[in-house]
Amino acid sequence: MTIDFDLARTRMVDNQIRTTDVTSHPVLQAFLSVAREDFVPSNMRELAYIDDDIRIAPGHDGTPARYLMEPSPLAKLLQLAEVRKSDVVLEIGCGTGYVSALLSLLSDSVVALESDPALAETAVESLSRLGYDNVAVVTGELAEGYKPEAPYDVIFIGGSVEQLPHTLFDQLRDGGRLVVVEGQGNASKAKLYVSEGGHTSARRGFNTSVKPLPGFEKTAEFIF
């Protein structure tokens, strides 16, 4: 059976995203424009628009498997970030580059950070082939951010974290925003952090459950 991906993409936006309080026209248009099927493993293309996370890399050496985030929470997080066309964005955990492509349409430029060299290579190939020329993919530890191009107007963290390193706040421009999902499982909450005059304020966004990113685990505490 041949999948009509354009129709599937429209149905994803209408049935999975618009119905969950996503009203931002730029965000909706970005989801309509980016071909999600080009950023999933070839054997998963027909499932690219399911209402679920899609595994893009297996776990190894104790690190969790990596996933392309379910459309609804992803769209709500992008809306929460209020990305502007003049913004320089740091995306943490770019995976295969799908969110990088969405952010490239919403912003001026994107630095897409990835810790897995194979995923980074896939992202570079896909983004270059599809013409998303305002995205630069870099490799490094996710929790460290990417200081060489700081400060950023927006930092977008593409998965849940147990703890948020302060070094990421140091990479925000004054007035910059950081969007993240904190917690585990169904107890997770999306948050928006805003840097203002050297201080950072937090605003709760919405309850959600998304897959974790490696490198943000809580340090084990020793009890004597």
**pTM of the full structure:** 0.94
Assign 3-state DSSP to the chain and report helix, strand, coil percentages, each to 5.
Answer: 35, 30, 35
Taking the C-alpha atoms of residue 63 and residue 2, their distance in angstroms, rounded to an integer, is 36
The predicted pLDDT at position 1 comes to 60
CB 158 within 8 A of CB 69: yes
Confidence grade of residue 60 (pLDDT, cut at 50, 70, 90): confident
Go through the domains of the chain in sequence order and give each one's CATH number. 5-207 (3.40.50.150)
pLDDT in tens, 177-222: 999 999 988 889 999 999 998 889 999 999 999 999 999 988 755 5
pLDDT in tens, 123-167: 999 999 999 999 999 999 999 999 999 999 999 999 999 999 999
The whole-number average pLDDT for the span 75-89 is 98
The predicted pLDDT at position 186 comes to 81
